[in-house]
Structures are given as C-alpha cells and as structure tokens.
Chains A and B, each alone.
Chain A
Amino acid sequence: MKRELSYVEAVREATDQEMERDPSVIVFGLDVDDPKAIQGTTRGLVEKYGPERVFGTPLSEDAMTGVAVGAALAGLRPIHVHIRMDFLMLAMNQLINIAAKSRYMYGGQVQVPIVVRSMIGKSWGQGAQHSQGLYSFFMHVPGLKVVAPTTPYDAKGCLVQAIRDNDPVMYVEHRILHFQKGPVPPSSYTVAPGKARITAPGSDVTLIGISYMQLECLRARCYLESADIHAEVIDPIWLSPLDIDTMSNSVRKTGRLCVVDNGWATCGASAEIITQILERLQGIRPVLVRRMGFAPVTCPPTPTLEDLYYPNARTIASAVYDLVTGGENRWMPQENVELQEIQFKGPF
C-alpha cells in the first residue's frame, strides 16, 4: 500500500529532507519556530537543525526578504515563509526589484536561489486581507518562477525543486489544500518547472483549475458526468513558466476551455493562460472560452456573501454546461455532499 501524507506533512518532509541533504538550506519567517509551526509545516525543524538555520523573524517582511536575497547571494538557500500571501505586499520591492532582477542586471554574475512560501486563506471569515491569491503579480515579472501545487505529491516534489532551483521561486499554498491527503513517496524527488498535469481525462471541455480551484474543478467534473459532459481537468501546477503545450493540446481536442482561478479574473492567471492557448490555436481550431474567478470585489467575511464571492463546483459545472451546450440553460446540479469529501488521490 502506498504511503499517504497530508499536504502539510509533505511540505514538512520536503523541507526536512532538503535541510538534511544541503546545509545551505535555511528556513525563516514569522513564527516558523513557534508551537504552531506554520500549521505544522516547520514542525521539529528547529530542534533538528538549530536556531541558526531555523528562526522566527521580526515583523519585517521587507527587510527579511532582502535578508533572504543577501543570504542567497552569499550561497545559502533560504526558504522565507509567510503565513499569508497578503503579507507579501510588504516585500514587493525586494522581490520585484532585486530578487527577480539580480541575475539579469548583474549580467549573469550572481544568482538568487530563494523560495518564498506563502499561503492563501479561505472561509472562516478570512475577509479582505487573509484571502487573496496574488500570484499573477509575480507571474507578470520576468525572473520569478511561480508554483501553486495542489496535491501532497506535488507539494513535496515542487518544494524540493524550488529549493534546488537556482532562481527565485514563489511557492503558493492554500490553507484548505493543507488538509488534503494523498500518496507521497518517502524518498526525495522533484516535480519539474513548466509541466502541467492532466488530473482527469475527458473529451468535451478542458477545465483548468488553479490552486484550490483545482479541487472544485474535480468536483465540478463529477457533476458534469451526471449530465453526460466529460471534462478534462488540468492542473497547471507551475504558473510561471506555464505549460501551454499540455493545456493547448487538450483544448485542441475539446475545442472548449474554462479556466477557474483562485483569484480575480482581470489581468489574472486565467487571462494569461487563455491568451496563450488562443494564440497557439488561432487558425487551427476555433475555441469557446469561459473564465471564472473571485467576484471582482473585496472578499467579504460574512458567509452569505462569501459563498457568492467564490466559484464552487456547482457554479463551475453550471457555467461549463452552458459552454458545452450553448446558451443559458440555468442548469445547476443538486448538491452532492459526498463530493465534499473528494480528496486528491493523484495519478500516483
């Protein structure tokens, strides 16, 4: 029987194995060494590797990001942890103006092998500043890699890859995905940048779900099966670089594309993915397109409004039903509570 780990355990194991393998790996950020250990993702690391390699920091996201860059210039491989992605806004100058640009503006003489872990929140009234999926900001900037793994398998493999990568990697987690369980090999392995994964096959429509929305897309696929619509679900995994080959090959087959983002649609990851696929397929295959994302408002904490704010499996299924059948059908599947239990098993 294959060993199962939670996403949290997978992140912790990747960090532990890389720290053991390579003494230049260090971990820091607000509260990484406190009793809660960032949902458990850094549990036991300070005991094993000591407070010089694992330490909590002052509440100084700006300078501590610069510290990570400077330590990386000196040959370390820092993992800088942010318990909320929203807090990265305090680190933008160091990330955009230095981390992303150093290799280029110093003519290839230096490298900045940092990993910036951050978490997107959802529900429990997370509200305006605990819920934002801001990865498209980083996709915009040359010199940064961006990854948003959704399974425990990819959480481990992408983190190992990010740590060993000689360029800065924004590693985006989602609090709800933290609870997911799935098979994770005990030994170390990497998941290569720029490679998407077809998570469920289908022939009628290509459904691309980013971050947590991958989970909702898999649920939506089950609803659509009941209407005899077969969706191919793809997890991009790496948002920069994007695997347009895998995604456009699927769309070439289905002719229909729905991208569901765990963020706002405007200037977002969905806009970029759709544009690149359409550029690839223009003149080859007509494509019907739909994108979904957060409502274009600030995230409200109250549950009645929050429910409307996010796409979910049923609204996704409904939108895809329209895309496939044409017109506005107002079809909405009955809620199936069993689908709430859907967990990522992965193809492994």
Chain B
Amino acid sequence: MVERFYRALYRIRRVEEEIAAVYPTDRIKSPVHLSIGQEAVSVGVCEALRQDDVVFGSYRSHALYLAKGGDLKKMIAELYGKVDGCAKGKGGSMHLVDVQAHVMGASAVVGTTIAQAVGFAYALKLRRKDSVVISFFGDGAVDEGVFHESLNFAALKSLPIVFICENNFYAIHTHQLLRQKQANICERARTYGMPAEQVPDNDALRIYEKVSEAVTRLRSGEPGPRFFECLTYRLKEHVGPNDDFHLGYRTREEAKPWIENDPIKRLGDQLGPAQRHKIETEVDAEIREAFAFAERSPFPEAAELYMDVFEA
C-alpha cells in the first residue's frame, strides 16, 4: 500500500517538477497550473476508484489526470502542443482528457465541470451502472452559483457522485475568508442533504480510506451524493512554474507546516532505501521517456485547425 501510494505521489511530483524545469525553455505551449503540494488529494481519491469510474476536474488537473490513469506521454505532448497530445494539441494543460481512463474533462472556467459530473452521474443511475463519478473542484468554485445548483440537483436525485473540494485556501491570490463569510464548506454541502466531511491533513491514505468507504456504499446502491472537503496547499504560484511568496498575499510561515507534513516525504520515509530507489528510478525513466516522446512528436498539420468543430 505505502509503496503504491508513494509511487503515485512521487510520479506526479516529479512530472510537475520536470514541467517547471522545462517551462522557461518555452517548449511547453500552455499555461500550467501545477499541483505541487496538492497531489495527495488526487492520489487518495483515485486509488479508491475503478477504471470505469469517472472523474471531472479543474484547470489544475495534472495530478488528477495522472492519478486516474491518464496517459503520461499524451499529457506531456499535449502541453507541448503536439499532435500526439491527449487532445491533439487542441486542449492544452487546462483541458486534459483521457476517455479510456475515464478522465472526462477539465475546465478553465471555475466550477463549470461540477454540473457535467452530476449529469454523467445521472446517466449512470439511469442505466443502472455501478460505477461512480467524482467531481473535483477548489474552494473558489464554492463561490460559484453552479456549485450550489449542482449539489442541490445531485442530492434531489440521490446521484452516485462524490464531490471533492480541494481547499487550498486561495482563489488565485485571494484567501477563502476574503470571499466567504465563514469557512464552512462542509456545512453548506450538508444543507443540500448529503453527508460531508473535512479531511484536514493532506493525508493520501486517510483520503483513500474515506473515499473507498463512500464509493463502496454508492456502488451497493446507497443513495448519494457524498462530499469531502480535503484541506491541502499549493506550493507553487497560481499559474506558472515559480514560487510566489514574494507577492505578499501569503507567507512562508503559512506554508511551513504543509512542507514539513509533505505526504511524499512522509511515505518515502516509511520505505526502505532499496525499495525507494527502485520506484524512483523507474518513475524517472518513465518521465524522461514521456518528455522525449513529446519532443519527438510533430506539431499538428494545418488541416487539423478545422477538424473536430462538428462531427466529420
């Protein structure tokens, strides 16, 4: 278990670090919203899922895409704007998709995919499927009307969906308490008629246990939805590869406990050096290969511009 989680977390972290390292070369042709610091939520949730369970995300979905089994090579090629990207270079970092892995989309407009996740869950219920949908969004999305409309409808129809609010406390540079009178996201979810629980410590294993239990219940036909607010922390700037503590909207002191409590470090410490070395070597090789794949892949031909507007 620890090995599996460490591999998943380390892999995402290293991918993101590599993106940050390459970014100044301008070979990545897309704004990047890195998930460094927040990997535990995606990993904890997705380890509890089956391949046919469905996820929807936000513009900060690198971790979600990878944790759910999205193709790494295609993701990097997408960031490079190459034709072998997961959307042929027509989506970019903010719209990662992998239909085979049931990563069904991500939106730059905050909160927008919450409603699509609910609609997908409606279809699953109508068709008597036992797969579930997970909707990922941030604390900023809680400000949006679509969050409230979607939760209301999901509860009204008892849909097989788990809402995961990744609360990293900031919408770009604005703290939650400058946007919301009270830090009571779970309480708001409960008022719509669903169980809601906060997971405060960025602990992938704890998130896994809780989501596993919820998903098992939903599969067995227990009425949904379920809601989890996972507190976490973004270590890089809102968009881009750098730190941003110099901006002054948050302090290094605030970040300190999150860095000390880094789940990758915690899990890594539980592994033996040989075990750890093996995982890291394998993952590093996979990442090198993915970036080389993206470098080699061609840019799309001109004819691609007009493809996929409508069905051919």
Total interface residues on B, using CB and 8 Å?
44
Interface stretch of the complex, out of B60-68, B120-128, B202-210: B120-128
In the complex, residue of chain B having the shortest beta-carbon distance to the beta carbon of A107: B87
Q: Given A104-B309, A108-B307, A143-B310, answer yes or no on A66-B87 (Cβ-Cβ < 8 Å).
A: no
A62, A75, A106: which contacts B87 (Cβ < 8 A)?
A106
Chain B residue numbers with a CB within 8 Å of A58 are: 149, 152-153, 156
Q: Verify if A76 is at the interface (C-beta below 8 Å from B).
A: yes
Q: How far is it, in angstroms, between the C-alpha of A63 and the C-alpha of B118 when the chains are bound?
A: 9
Is A166 within 8 A of B126, CB to CB? no
Q: Verify if A26 is at the interface (C-beta below 8 Å from B).
A: yes
Is A70 within 8 A of B122, CB to CB? yes
Q: How far is it, in angstroms, between the C-alpha of A166 and the C-alpha of B156 when the chains are bound?
A: 29
Is A63 within 8 A of B150, CB to CB? yes
Q: Verify if A295 is at the interface (C-beta below 8 Å from B).
A: no
Q: Which of A154-204 contact B (CB under 8 A)?
A: 165-167
Q: Verify if A105 is at the interface (C-beta below 8 Å from B).
A: yes
Q: Which of A185-233 contact B (CB under 8 A)?
A: none
Best-buried of A66, A98, A109 by chain B (most CB within 10 Å): A66
Chain B residue numbers with a CB within 8 Å of A76 are: 123, 126
Number of A-B contacts (CB under 8 A): 142
Is A108 within 8 A of B123, CB to CB? no
Q: Verify if B114 is at the interface (C-beta below 8 Å from A).
A: yes
Is B149 within 8 A of A111, CB to CB? no
Best-buried of A26, A72, A104 by chain B (most CB within 10 Å): A104
Q: Given A62-B115, A76-B123, answer yes or no on A166-B97 (Cβ-Cβ < 8 Å).
A: no
Smallest beta-carbon distance B108→chain A, Å:
8
Is A63 within 8 A of B122, CB to CB? no
Chain B residue numbers with a CB within 8 Å of A107 are: 85-91, 97, 308
Per-residue contact bits, chain B 85-121, to A (CB 8 Å; 1 contact, 0 not) = 1111111100101010000110111001111111111
Q: Verify if B20 is at the interface (C-beta below 8 Å from A).
A: no
Is B308 within 8 A of A108, CB to CB? yes
Q: Verify if A277 is at the interface (C-beta below 8 Å from B).
A: no
Smallest beta-carbon distance A345→chain B, Å:
33
Chain B residue numbers with a CB within 8 Å of A102 are: 105
Residues of B whose CB lies within 8 Å of any CB of A are: 54, 56, 85-92, 95, 97, 99, 104-105, 107-109, 112-124, 126, 145-146, 149-150, 152-153, 156, 307-311
A-B contact pairs, 9 of them (CB 8 A): A52-B126, A62-B115, A64-B115, A71-B120, A73-B105, A73-B119, A103-B309, A104-B308, A104-B309
Residues of A whose CB lies within 8 Å of any CB of B are: 26, 52-53, 57-58, 60, 62-76, 78, 93-94, 97-98, 102-111, 142-143, 145, 165-167
Ranked 6 nearest A-B pairs via Cβ: A66-B115, A70-B119, A63-B149, A107-B87, A74-B123, A70-B116
Given known contacts A60-B150, A98-B113, what 4 new A-B pairs fall within 8 Å (CB)?
A58-B149, A63-B114, A106-B87, A110-B97
